[in-house]
Amino acid sequence: MTLLNKVNGDLQRERDNCTFSVTELTNLIDGDAQKTEERKQREEMVLKEGIHLEPVPAVYLSHKEKYELAVKKSCALFKMIKRLQEEENAGMENYMAVLGGSLGSAILGDGNPITLHYVMFIPTIMGQGTVEQQAYWIGRAFNLNIIGTYAQTELGHGTFIRGLETTATYDPSTKEFVLNSPTLTSYKWWPGGLAHTANYCIVMAQLYTQGKCHGIHPFIVQLRDEESHMPLRGIKVGEIGAKLGMNGTNNGFLGFENVRIPRDHMLMKNSKVLEDGTYVNAPNSKLTYGTMMFVRVMIVNDMCNYIAKAVTIATRYSAIRRQSKMKPDEPEPQIIDFLTQRHKLFIGIASVHAFKLSSEWIWNMYNNVTAELESGDLERLPELHALSCCLKAVSTADAAECVERCRLACGGHGYMLSSNLPLMYGLVTAACTYEGENTVMLLQTARYLVKSWHQARQDSGTLTPTVSYIGRVASGRRMPPWDNTIEGIIEGFHVVAAGKIGVCVNQIEKRQKAGLCYEDAWNMTSVQLASASEAHCRAIILATYFKETQIRVDSASPALKQVLLQLVDLYVVYWALARLGDLLRFTSISERDVEQLQSWYEDLLNKLRVNAVGLVDGFDIRDEILNSALGAFDGRAYERLMEEAMKSPLNAEPVNKSFHDYLKPLMQGKL
């Protein structure tokens, strides 16, 4: 173990002092020891292929070269997947791991131009195609004989799907649909892989037949010739340009000029257009909610991975970085010794656990509701929809904040791309606007909450489990006195959420009485509604994190149990202090309680200090996946920063040509 000898001394000391078994923590996070083993094997299997290695780091390449590298890596990756299929070694878990998650982003850090083929193209055909259509398309798609993507968003419309402008008009004379982009804003805009990668595409378009519009439907459209890859006639396709992140994703635009496709290229599992142009309605339009909810539930889990990476990097770096004098006669302290630094880091560690457990909880709920759906039971759909909306919004916003706070906690060095933190932020913040912009998401949940409030006033017994707390408050019963414990705080958050919903309902009614229509009254109250929705989500996350931890630590060793419960305490008290205004407004918390909370919080920052490195080691993120000069396991941050700097092509020559071209003439007055 010569490598281990090279671990930074400060970091080694942290590990020596850790009070619990890191392996036990890792197993607990993965599920059990076998799952850990499977994950490790999967990582080893994929990484040993070396696809993630870059001769020159992608950050130094031009935009075009970045795309070309992404295609190269992506093809190597799917070739590997094909091989694993043949070796019967490609389970669903392996698929998911390389398509998304930490492992996938270790290989294609800045976006994979073929991901949507697997994540949207194939699933949409499976979900919305007839049996015949599946038979025709799935084999070819699965074997990668064709590469598809999914085009919904347009230049002018994202969130508001009904506003999409692309048209597909049925022509019974030829039994074809004719696709058109009637305006500039109707151009498809954003789909990954659309620009230069995919040759097929599912296009969401307004269906017209027999002179009538029937709304948005899915169509399979061939975009490019299979041999030459040239765009087909009437297809205007290209890339949308450079972005804050994901520049390997090859996001494209797409316009149609009288593009004709056969009738059976409309996916007809639900609605149909018959040969003569007769439109046959879908049995149930709510079924299409499924995919959207699935993606949002997946996002919550994704966010955990990003926070875990960021906080691993920042915590290890804070253990090896020494700066300033705290006391004149002592050496410079590790920056993790500053309480302000722990304040920035530890909430990140706790957030990983909080969102991981919340994500597993909503994933179970999603599976149950989906099973119920298939047997025709739609009852829990609205509740799940409301939950997935606010959890998507809160988890992405919190993750962006955590990742950025970790980056800033690394000071100037966090600004280096070799820290990997900026790239990570680019990916996380994208999730705040994609798959439903966060404010819109919160207001979707708010509609459910307001409805629940009205329902509670009628009969609080009929409330669904996640909003049942509203009944306690809406009933006007006197609240119990403030209880300065974890359970008490969580109850306080429920009281706050219910209180805020109540205030909103009153506001809306007041505004209606003052003459506004419901829509205007709603809009005027929407800042408060979004805030109420966030409060509802906070209460749910806090309660879930607390409850699920209680269950899971039951069989843990006392040492680990203690630390995991401290993390729960930290998380709950952190949020209590962060939302003090709400607690002071809606509960009977006193100034004395507040000061106790503050001391409790500071005390937890102290207690968790010794285990901080152990806690992030427990996330067990391989160096290849972290991909950070600041956060590697060995803590050789300065050495790695210099090694990474030396990879810059500018450092390959002592004098850049711009000296001769511009600088020297300028200095000699000859420019």
Nearer to its own copies, 97 or 393 (CB): 393
Within 262-301, which residues bind its own copies (CB under 8 A)?
A: none
Q: How many residues does the chain have?
A: 671
How far CA 547 is from CA of 138, 490, 565, in Å, comes to 42, 11, 11
* 449 contacts 470 by C-beta, under 8 angstroms: yes
Given 96, 282, 565, 594, the residue binding its own copies (CB under 8 A): 594
79 binds its own copies (CB under 8 A): yes
Please report how close the Cβ of residue 8 comes to its own copies at its closest, in angstroms: 12
**Residue 90: partners with Cβ closer than 8 Å, 6 or more residues away:** 81, 84
443 binds its own copies (CB under 8 A): yes
Nearer to its own copies, 482 or 638 (CB): 638
- Only one of the segments 42-50, 269-277, 283-291, 638-646 lies at the binding site for its own copies (rule: CB under 8 A); that segment is 638-646
Which token pair is 65? 């070269």
Nearer to its own copies, 235 or 386 (CB): 235
Kindly state the greatest CA–CA separation across the chain: 92
126 binds its own copies (CB under 8 A): no
Residue in 346, 340, 385, 395 with CA at minimum distance from that of residue 365: 385
Q: Which of 271-279's residues contact partners 24+ apart within 8 Å by CB, and which partners?
A: 271/207, 271/214, 271/217, 273/170, 273/207, 273/209, 275/172, 275/175, 276/172, 277/170, 277/172, 277/209, 277/210, 278/209, 278/210, 279/207, 279/209, 279/210, 279/212, 279/214
Please report how close the Cβ of residue 90 comes to its own copies at its closest, in angstroms: 16
Please report how close the Cβ of residue 34 comes to its own copies at its closest, in angstroms: 34
227 part of the active site: no
Within 206-235, which residues bind its own copies (CB under 8 A)?
A: 226, 228-231
418 binds its own copies (CB under 8 A): yes
Given 14, 43, 239, 620, the residue binding its own copies (CB under 8 A): 239
Nearer to its own copies, 178 or 629 (CB): 629
669 binds its own copies (CB under 8 A): yes
190 binds its own copies (CB under 8 A): yes
The torsion defined by the Cα of 653, 659, 660 and 663, in degrees rounded to 10, comes to 180
* 641 contacts 15 by C-beta, under 8 angstroms: no
Nearer to its own copies, 26 or 115 (CB): 115
Pair type for strands 200-209 and 167-171 = parallel
Please report how close the Cβ of residue 596 comes to its own copies at its closest, in angstroms: 12
143 binds its own copies (CB under 8 A): yes
580 binds its own copies (CB under 8 A): yes
How far CA 92 is from CA of 89, 148, 347, in Å, comes to 10, 20, 33
Please report how close the Cβ of residue 153 comes to its own copies at its closest, in angstroms: 7
Nearer to its own copies, 266 or 495 (CB): 495
Binding residues for its own copies, how many (CB under 8 A)?
141
Nearer to its own copies, 14 or 239 (CB): 239
Site string for its own copies, 420-439 (x = CB under 8 A): --x------xx-xxx--xxx
| Catalytic pick among 38, 360, 401, 435 | 435
Within 355-414, which residues bind its own copies (CB under 8 A)?
A: 404, 408, 411-412, 414
Please report how close the Cβ of residue 448 comes to its own copies at its closest, in angstroms: 17
Within 513-532, which residues bind its own copies (CB under 8 A)?
A: 517, 519-520, 523-528, 530
Please report how close the Cβ of residue 517 comes to its own copies at its closest, in angstroms: 7
Please report how close the Cβ of residue 197 comes to its own copies at its closest, in angstroms: 7
**Residue 59: partners with Cβ closer than 8 Å, 6 or more residues away:** 417, 423
Chain Cα centroid distance, residue 659: 45
Given 45, 96, 126, 144, the residue binding its own copies (CB under 8 A): 144
Return the half-sphere exposure (C-beta side, CA atoms, 13 A cut-off) of residue 89.
12
* DSSP SS3 for 94: helix
Given 11, 26, 67, 277, the residue binding its own copies (CB under 8 A): 67
Q: List, as residue ranges, the binding site for FAD.
A: 153, 192
Residue in 429, 366, 403, 390 with CA at minimum distance from that of residue 538: 390
Given 4, 514, 551, 646, the residue binding its own copies (CB under 8 A): 646
Given 91, 215, 262, 649, the residue binding its own copies (CB under 8 A): 649
Residue in 24, 35, 50 with CA at minimum distance from that of residue 93: 35
Residue in 138, 116, 113 with CA at minimum distance from that of residue 125: 138
For residue 207, the cross-strand partners are 168
The letter for the amino acid at 239 is E
Within 5-64, which residues bind its own copies (CB under 8 A)?
A: 57, 59-64
160 binds its own copies (CB under 8 A): yes
Ramachandran region of residue 274, left (φ > 0), alpha (ψ -120 to 50) or beta? beta
Please report how close the Cβ of residue 116 comes to its own copies at its closest, in angstroms: 15
156 binds its own copies (CB under 8 A): yes
Within 485-514, which residues bind its own copies (CB under 8 A)?
A: 503
What DSSP character marks residue 224? B
Please report how close the Cβ of residue 662 comes to its own copies at its closest, in angstroms: 4
Nearer to its own copies, 64 or 454 (CB): 64
Which token pair is 470? 């509203």
Nearer to its own copies, 20 or 601 (CB): 601
DSSP sequence for 32-46: SHHHHHHHHHHHHHH
655 binds its own copies (CB under 8 A): yes
Site string for its own copies, 316-335 (x = CB under 8 A): ------xxxxxx----x---
- Only one of the segments 2-10, 165-173, 561-569, 595-603 lies at the binding site for its own copies (rule: CB under 8 A); that segment is 595-603
Nearer to its own copies, 128 or 341 (CB): 341
DSSP sequence for 569-623: HHHHHHHHHHTHHHHHHHS---HHHHHHHHHHHHHHHHHTGGGHHHHHHTT---H
State the catalytic residues.
435
